[in-house]
Amino acid sequence: MLGARVPETWPGADFARMLPRLARGAEQVSPGAESTRLLVHTADGSGTVEVVYSIVPAYRGRGLASQATRALIHHALSHPDIRYVIAECLDDNLASLKVLEKLGMRRVGRAGGTLRFELRGR
């Protein structure tokens, strides 16, 4: 539909695990919203958004994840109602762990093999 060529390596295991959750979230987004960039569920008043990303293997190691995630975080925290940005990462995904730590996110929990990160805004 978009005319994009999707490599067989996409989505990776981490992102494939997140796709059903993203699809459920996208169903709750208002028409015209850019659900693939930022999902904000304001009904619960938590002031929290989650960033999720995936980079096709051929483009990894170029700083794209850091650059894109930094922009998502900046955009999210520019909204006055947003106080926290969270992210989850498998504990063996060293590249993503490096990205999240580089962006100032701190580890706040673990559930099995998944680490939870948080960045506090204002």
Is residue 48 domain-resident? yes
Q: Summarize the confidence of residues 2-11 as an average pLDDT.
A: 67
Instruction: Tell the residue number behind the tokens 């975080």, with chain if given.
Output: 73
SS3 of the chain: helix, strand, coil, percent, to 5: 35, 20, 50
CA atoms within 13 A of residue 52's CA, in its CB half-sphere: 23
Over residues 24-80, the pLDDT tens digits come to 665 554 444 444 444 445 555 678 888 888 787 888 899 989 998 999 899 889 888
Range of the domain at 99: 13-120
pLDDT value of residue 32: 44
pTM above 0.85, yes or no: no
Q: What is the CATH number of the domain that holds 88?
A: 3.40.630.30
Number of domains in the chain: 1
Domain contains 2: no
In a domain, 3, yes or no: no
* Residue 75 counted as domain residue: yes
Q: Tell me whether residue 45 is in a domain.
A: yes
- List pLDDT tens digits, range 101-119: 999 999 999 999 999 999 9
Inside any domain, residue 1: no
Residue 6 covered by a domain: no
**Strand segments (E) across the chain:** 48-50, 84-90, 106-111, 114-120
**Does the residue 99 lie in any domain?**
yes
Asked whether the predicted pLDDT for residue 3 surpasses 70, the reply is no
